[in-house]
Structure 1
């Protein structure tokens, strides 16, 4: 690797890591930020929503922007916008200001991901494309994986403002590297490009409504809320108009016709499944550690590190194996491995330890590394040079959007399963009772009572009562305190059972990925066949 190529790779990896890190680093600090600026939980979630919203709108439009202003200029501008947004987020004084600056940060970050992927591919020869995608993948997967741990430590030990300020030194270094090693001063501004305003507007409204619906659906009880229904209708109408427009327009803002290329579209669909699994895992695992198994936030962050470590370790190995085995075998192997790794997570109990979760996560990291490198390489290998930027934007949009869909779907599934399991457990306790339960029949909210239980639960109460008396509780308080302890235990048991249900669904999801991998077509465009030259 030459010095110039090394500097380009370093610059690109810094961009990727910063952009992907800021997807998750803020989430753990939201309770602190909420207290600092005095807003409700529902209002505070817009801090994350605004960033993701800007991301998904910019990604598919990146080809249009680079056509007007030039690829390397857009790259430089994206880093600059991200840095300005980060600095201003740290200075934010109220909810409105932090939402605006997070959106500015998201515009820059959304542009960086597809441009980074395109620039890496163009600076590596065809036989090293998988190597380039392994570097890209390290930044993509490490950022969201380490975000909660880094964000939690900074928030607890310094200040929430520094989760934004921490980007500034890296932005400055990156701007210097881009200026000297990437920026192409010979790029010309294209003044005669016909702007597809209809496509851009319908895309922005449609994707915006969809992203807000996914972010706010759980909070508003989905389609029982008129707000969510209106967002769904808006999204469907405008995305339909956008699709029709882009498929019929002579110069579309987003080239959806690339999806007709099966060598590109099939890996893109599998990438969507990968995005659902990756982002759902980043959402579910901390809840599992904290709410079901009783770990602290810091311990939960540390508990998530195995997957990030194994992904970083095996990305370079996956890049080397690609040229020997090809994409199809790697994707089939990785899909099967991920599916199998979710099986142990489908049979957990409250006695499950962090060590029990270490190996499934570590194995998932290996599989994610293999599938990420091979999918990215085979998908973009099918495109001509002129379509690389547009294809990278679409490809990454699918990953981010499906990640949002996966998080929303599995969060809802987790909550629904927990409710179902709690009723099942409660019914089991009640129906095994030798007593008549008139109180429960008239007030189902009571759920459990020391007087409505089976002999086994009666023994449970006897032991708990003895423990409470030893701790100084009065006899009058025993029934309520014992009931509360049993109710909490049933809640945790219902939650761990819900996690089992959700992880089994993820296991089946990657079985679908395995089936789709059987149809992978390793097709090279003429540009790649000719050695990647102009």
Structure 2
């Protein structure tokens, strides 16, 4: 790494150093920013129907509201290390938060779909930086004995926000209309700006680093990650490689990512250090972070979809179910933080992966009558497992990372998790479509007009419709459509079950991968990076 890269390397707090109130306020403000940025990824999902109605857009067009945010966010996360060195943590976080609030307000005031997509992209580009910055502040400002606490709170931002997004979005939309889901950002945003302004020292700009930056690598990175996100987010709705649009973005993603790797390897001062993937613990932690993101966002994608389509729940009712995967984590995470300093983190992570996998397996046996009461236990089990995974993976990722590489490590770790989320949603959306077709065909083979049981059911339903005053021909047609509707519903239920089973199987398999990493034993109360 060149001297330019080292100009603003974080000065790590040392063991025994007292943590004053200013530092805790700065770290807390950083966590608030990360929570806000992750929350906004999915907060639109519960309100999407209302948003599309106001903007006169179709469901397929509306998918770009989320895709635009994700594309911009995934691009800016690796850039955060460079921009932090250029502007300093204090100025950069205040500036990007102020812009995030501006673009959030513009999203709430969007007048058509095009303006909404542009503002969502700008919102993602300014808010995405807040995620790795929170992790960097923990590592730089807290001594080893306090980092477990900081990492625990950071873990909450990553796991609690996806669970609370649909809840908060549905609640606000029902009470105040969908624009309020964007305006609410002003509350945490102002607190964040005040906390960072008070808690972090002023630093001089180092604008000369912009002229020395690896702009070719940055260009390849933006092309690769942006195209890959579009490919993943839009692939299922456009039939993947049957679409020239998707093929084009797949090719652009390949060119961009390969170009990024080549420029990173050949330059002495890359804007983010991809060489960190050469460290075994970091590689295992980021790989599992991608899988965790896949499971986290994938389960948060499947369950609300099931509740809306099969159980006909309102956004508010969906939120009341999903929140049980989040709220218990507030009480579990401090307990996990204490255990992380006493028990091999591989054991803790394996336990978390197992519990998360079990919760998904519990959801793999749903039927059309499954609702709040039947789902409550699986949500609580999920809340029990997720903190064990997120905290320990953060510890593994940051263990032994040099101070100069802290921003790069934080950026790559969080980028990988978000990218895993896009992969998970794409995988499960495709699986849902294909497995529904499969189960529909299998059920169709069994339920035919020649089956005595089907004939008996059709006759009973036809008589029921005739009794309601419908003529015989229309009643017979209506009975056939009702049977077809039941078959489609059951096909979808089985497809949702298959999706949860896939997630469960992947999480269970990851327990073996976890043990490829080296043992991590933190000092008393310690977090990662203590050694």
User: Please, what TM-score do these two structures have when normalized by structure 2?
Assistant: 0.91
Mapped to 2, the partners of 1:127 and 1:19 lie a distance apart of 27
Match of 1:185, SS state, is coil
From the superposition, tell whether residues 503 and 472 of structure 1 become closer, same or farther in structure 2 (CA, over 3 Å): same
Matching residue within 11, 21, 32 for 2:29: 11
Q: CA deviation at 1:143?
A: 1.8
Q: What is the total number of aligned residue pairs between the two structures?
A: 510
Q: CA deviation at 1:529?
A: 10
Q: CA deviation at 1:453?
A: 3.6
1:405 and 2:433 are equivalent in the alignment: no
Mapped to 2, the partners of 1:266 and 1:144 lie a distance apart of 23
2:4 alignment partner in structure 1: none
Mapped to 2, the partners of 1:16 and 1:511 lie a distance apart of 28
Comparing 385-394 and 43-52, the one that deviates more: 43-52
1:186 alignment partner in structure 2: 203
2:404 alignment partner in structure 1: 386
Tell me, yes or no, if the aligned pair for 1:64 and 1:254 is still in contact at 8 Å. yes
- Name structure 1 gaps, 5 residues minimum: 431-451
Comparing 466-475 and 25-34, the one that deviates more: 466-475
1:461 and 2:478 are equivalent in the alignment: no
Comparing 362-371 and 139-148, the one that deviates more: 139-148
Tell me, yes or no, if the aligned pair for 1:47 and 1:98 is still in contact at 8 Å. yes
1:70 and 2:67 are equivalent in the alignment: no
Matching residue within 228, 237, 241 for 1:210: 228
Match of 2:202, SS state, is coil
From the superposition, tell whether residues 522 and 4 of structure 1 become closer, same or farther in structure 2 (CA, over 3 Å): farther
Matching residue within 456, 463, 472 for 1:475: 472
Match of 1:66, SS state, is helix
2:317 alignment partner in structure 1: 299
1:143 and 2:140 are equivalent in the alignment: no
Comparing 283-292 and 149-158, the one that deviates more: 149-158
From the superposition, tell whether residues 52 and 349 of structure 1 become closer, same or farther in structure 2 (CA, over 3 Å): same
Q: CA deviation at 1:483?
A: 0.8
Deviation above 3 Å: which 4+ runs of structure 1? Answer: 522-525, 528-533
1:285-312 deviation digits (Å, cap 9, x = unpaired): 0111122233333222211111112223
1:133 alignment partner in structure 2: 151
Mapped to 1, the partners of 2:357 and 2:267 lie a distance apart of 41
Tell me, yes or no, if the aligned pair for 1:264 and 1:382 is still in contact at 8 Å. no
Matching residue within 317, 329, 333 for 2:351: 333
Tell me, yes or no, if the aligned pair for 1:382 and 1:523 is still in contact at 8 Å. no
1:427 alignment partner in structure 2: 445
Mapped to 1, the partners of 2:260 and 2:528 lie a distance apart of 36
Tell me, yes or no, if the aligned pair for 1:118 and 1:389 is still in contact at 8 Å. yes
From the superposition, tell whether residues 469 and 297 of structure 1 become closer, same or farther in structure 2 (CA, over 3 Å): farther
Mapped to 2, the partners of 1:131 and 1:8 lie a distance apart of 14
1:162-188 deviation digits (Å, cap 9, x = unpaired): 111111132122211111112x21344
1:148-167 → structure 2 map (5 Å cutoff): 148-167=166-185
1:300-326 deviation digits (Å, cap 9, x = unpaired): 221111111222321121111101113
1:36-57 deviation digits (Å, cap 9, x = unpaired): 2223333222221111111000
Comparing 92-101 and 2-11, the one that deviates more: 2-11
Match of 2:341, SS state, is helix
Comparing 343-352 and 481-490, the one that deviates more: 343-352
From the superposition, tell whether residues 353 and 74 of structure 1 become closer, same or farther in structure 2 (CA, over 3 Å): same
Tell me, yes or no, if the aligned pair for 2:101 and 2:186 is still in contact at 8 Å. yes
1:342 alignment partner in structure 2: 360
1:141-290 → structure 2 map (5 Å cutoff): 141-182=159-200, 184-192=201-209, 194-290=212-308
From the superposition, tell whether residues 531 and 90 of structure 1 become closer, same or farther in structure 2 (CA, over 3 Å): closer
Q: CA deviation at 1:108?
A: 1.6
1:455-489 deviation digits (Å, cap 9, x = unpaired): 11122123322332333322221111101111111
Mapped to 2, the partners of 1:365 and 1:264 lie a distance apart of 25
User: Please, what TM-score do these two structures have when normalized by structure 1?
Assistant: 0.91
Mapped to 2, the partners of 1:233 and 1:246 lie a distance apart of 20
Tell me, yes or no, if the aligned pair for 1:125 and 1:532 is still in contact at 8 Å. no
Mapped to 2, the partners of 1:143 and 1:427 lie a distance apart of 43
Higher RCO (Cα < 8 Å, 6 or more apart): 2
Matching residue within 351, 376, 379 for 1:361: 379
Q: CA deviation at 1:342?
A: 2.3
Comparing 227-236 and 10-19, the one that deviates more: 10-19
Mapped to 2, the partners of 1:493 and 1:43 lie a distance apart of 28
Mapped to 1, the partners of 2:369 and 2:292 lie a distance apart of 29
Q: CA deviation at 1:367?
A: 0.6
Q: CA deviation at 1:221?
A: 1.0
Mapped to 2, the partners of 1:529 and 1:217 lie a distance apart of 43
From the superposition, tell whether residues 192 and 160 of structure 1 become closer, same or farther in structure 2 (CA, over 3 Å): closer
